[in-house]
Chain A
Amino acid sequence: MTTSVSIKDLSLNFGNVKVLESLDLEVAQGEFIVLLGPSGCGKSTLLNCIAGLLDVSDGQIFISGKNVTWDEPKDRGIGMVFQSYALYPQMTVEKNLSFGLRVARMPKAEVDARVKRASEILQIEPLLQRKPVELSGGQRQRVAIGRALVRDVDVFLFDEPLSNLDAKLRNDLRIEIKRLHARLKNTMIYVTHDQIEAMTLADRIAIMKNGVIQQLADPHTIYNRPVNLFVAGFIGSPSMNFIKGDLSGTTLSVDGQANIPLGNYQFANQTNGASILGIRPEHIAVGEEARKMPVQMESEIEIVEPMGADTVAWTKIAGQSLTFRAAAEVHLEPGQKVLIGFDPGRGSVFNAASGNRI
């Protein structure tokens, strides 16, 4: 696989605030990378650096093998889609799409052909003569994607393109972006704070915190083998249960009240001492199912949240709160005593001091 975008030792400061520090990232040709992280962690800043809209403080950026660190945005072979659509309000959809091409003085026939192709792909042909104010949010974002499309670039940059849309449209357009990627096979770098978007779209997810990439891996690995407590807690809803205890060998003792055998957990780097066992709510079984699990315990239901498709219940084990997800058919009610069970092999164990997976 050839490299499409390569970021080497990138730093960016606003005055003396360091937003990005020595960041490295390699994106393969045709890959869909999602930058995921909480608000303010530097995702947009990184994307703006790649686009050339911010001057980097240090480091290099390569796109399609060319060092573009000092290049203007238009010379980088990128197209960008913004959260606020950023359509030119005084121009029709057609003029919006063709603006970049007209600035580059492309022959009219070629401009028309490209606008036609992009509007076909995005199904916005009936809208071409409208102004942006006459479009709905979803249509506006389609036009914004079209504006990147006509430029026939190697790399697409998306900055939270769906965050201004309502839930239903967001789902629809998400699928369309996935289809678009399957069809065009461009490299796409997509910023979001929405983990569903990240999980569903990405070939690989880069989880960021305070300007540092915590983990860069495919969604399956991110979900099942988070490298640290931050990643583990950020991905998943409801979020992962964290059971604090003391690890010695393969036994986690929880406040001296319970001992959890971690027999079939694959330690990468076993370290005794204060540790945290992470178990996802959907990996905890209840009732008959629980009897098949290596670890079983009795607990009392505190709160039940029916979600329709399934039910989330809150309980406590050894004094620490725990949520689990049960099938909608399972009858649960507050005060009820149930047997729950899980397989530590599907969980994650972290060192409490460093927060890293062991």
Chain B
Amino acid sequence: MTTEAISPGLSAGTLSGPRGPKPKTVTIGRIGVYAFLIISAVFFLMPLWVMIVTSLKTMPEIREGHLFNWPALLTFDPWLKAWDTACTGRDCNGLKPGFWNSVKITALSVPVSIVIAMINGYALSFWKYKGSELLFGILIFGAFVPFQVVIYPLIIGLSKVGLFATLPGIVVVHTIFGMPILTLLYRNFFASLPIELFKAGRVDGAGFWGIFFRIMLPMSVPITIVAIILQVTGIWNDFLFGTVFAGRENMPMTVQLNNIVTTTTGTREYNVNMAATILTAAVPLVVYFISGKWFVRGIAAGAVKG
């Protein structure tokens, strides 16, 4: 009572007026943003929906033409056929062999390319020598060379050493083409680490490999997860190198998918084609779903030091 009488202005100012967190209001702008996001999501999910329902329909139902409808008669036969018995030219083994070929190619190419890029990036960051910056420049330039330009020389080269159309051959090709971007990734990661860490390692008596294996490698886990995701999806999705360099025996899943879809004998089995496509895309999708969190975390960890 008395304080109010003495300074009414002050007490009014401290008790009324804005205080605490500002209330959230729904603005027109915000509604617009959400509307846009929802429409975009629907737009991009539509084809996936069509693929899924089509792959679960029988051919007569597909011919009726109701593209978006849930199948009246649910069938999983197209999936089995796509996996096991669909024909690519003469062979009728489905996608199965292609899947295992892709697994082999990916399982070999990913570790080989990452290990080499990691050592490259490490050497280029910490063991600079005369011309190492130039070498790095050339390597990065390699990322901008169109693939088509080098394919023919590479075919000749690989044939000469007997690696053309072999499993090691396709692994070498994936390793070469992954090198610029992966080296850049690792070099920038190592360059972001404090140089004193390297100096401390040298004072402690560790050499090139000692520092690499005992200090740098344990720190590279987040960036390596990023590299694995890049390489697994990139190599699994590859079509061009697989067609050209893998050879008949090692055709990856993408090439086999193409052969199934474009095969000209008989009627086009849309349900089988859809199932085959989803099966082929499943691996990168699964990788994204499992590792999305890791991917973001890896990029963030690469950005902060120590």
Contacts and interface: CB of A to CB of B under 8 A. Distances in A.
Interface of A: 48, 51-53, 72-74, 78-80, 82-90, 99-100, 103-104, 132-133, 147, 151
Contact of A74 (B197, B202, B218, B219): B202
B203 A73 contact: yes
Nearest to B194: A84
B205 A84 contact: no
Contact of B199 (A80, A89, A90, A151): A80
A305 B206 CA distance: 53
Contacts of B210: 103
A86 B194 contact: yes
Contacts of B197: 86, 88
9 smallest CB-CB distances across A and B, nearest first, come from A74-B205, A100-B204, A86-B196, A90-B218, A82-B196, A86-B200, A103-B205, A73-B203, A80-B203
B104 interface: no
B203 A79 contact: yes
6 contacts: A53-B202, A72-B202, A78-B203, A86-B199, A99-B206, A100-B205
A74 B210 CA distance: 13
Given A84-B194, A89-B219, A90-B219, A103 B204 contact: yes
A112 to B, nearest CB: 17
Contacts of B154: none
Interface in B200-214: 200-206, 210, 214
A103 B206 contact: yes
A84 B196 contact: yes
A74 B215 contact: no
Interface residues of B, number: 17
A87 B200 CA distance: 8
A52 B203 CA distance: 8
B306 interface: yes
Contacts of B201: 88, 99
Pick the most buried of B194, B200, B214, B306: most chain A CB atoms within 10 A of its CB: B200
Contacts of B194: 84, 86
B306 A80 contact: no
Nearest to A148: B203
A50 to B, nearest CB: 11
A100 B203 contact: yes
B116 to A, nearest CB: 23
A94 to B, nearest CB: 14
A79 B197 CA distance: 14
Contacts of B219: 89-90
B204 A74 contact: yes
B203 A51 contact: yes
Interface string B182-197: 0000000000001011
Contacts of A82: 196, 199-200
B196 A147 contact: no
A175 B76 CA distance: 78
Nearest to B193: A89
Contacts of B204: 74, 99-100, 103, 147, 151
B132 to A, nearest CB: 14
A105 to B, nearest CB: 10
A90 B194 CA distance: 14
Q: Which of A52, A78, A80, A147 has the most CB of B within 10 A?
A: A80
A51 B199 CA distance: 9
Contacts of A48: 199
Interface in B134-173: none
Interface centre among B201, B202, B204, B206 (most CB of A within 10 A): B204
Contacts of A103: 204-206, 210, 214
B122 to A, nearest CB: 15
A351 B299 CA distance: 59
A85 B201 CA distance: 12
A86 B202 CA distance: 12
Given A84-B194, A89-B306, A103-B206, A147 B218 contact: no
A131 to B, nearest CB: 11
A15 to B, nearest CB: 11
Given A72-B202, A79-B203, A90-B218, 15 more contacts: A48-B199, A52-B202, A53-B202, A80-B200, A80-B203, A86-B194, A86-B196, A87-B200, A88-B214, A88-B215, A90-B219, A99-B206, A99-B214, A103-B204, A103-B210
A53 B199 contact: yes
Contacts of A86: 194, 196-197, 199-200
Given A89-B219, A90-B218, A90-B219, A83 B196 contact: yes
A202 to B, nearest CB: 23
Contacts of A72: 202, 205
Contacts of A133: 306
A72 B219 CA distance: 25
Contacts of A83: 196
Nearest to A132: B306
B221 to A, nearest CB: 9
Given A83-B196, A90-B218, A90-B219, A74 B203 contact: yes
Nearest to A104: B205
Contacts of B203: 51, 53, 73-74, 78-80, 100
A5 to B, nearest CB: 15
A79 B200 CA distance: 9
A82 B210 CA distance: 20
Nearest to A53: B199
A89 B305 CA distance: 11
Interface in B84-108: none
Nearest to A81: B200
Contacts of A53: 199, 202-203
Contacts of A85: 196
Contacts of A90: 215, 218-219
A335 B197 CA distance: 56
Contacts of A84: 194, 196
B227 to A, nearest CB: 18
A1 B109 CA distance: 63
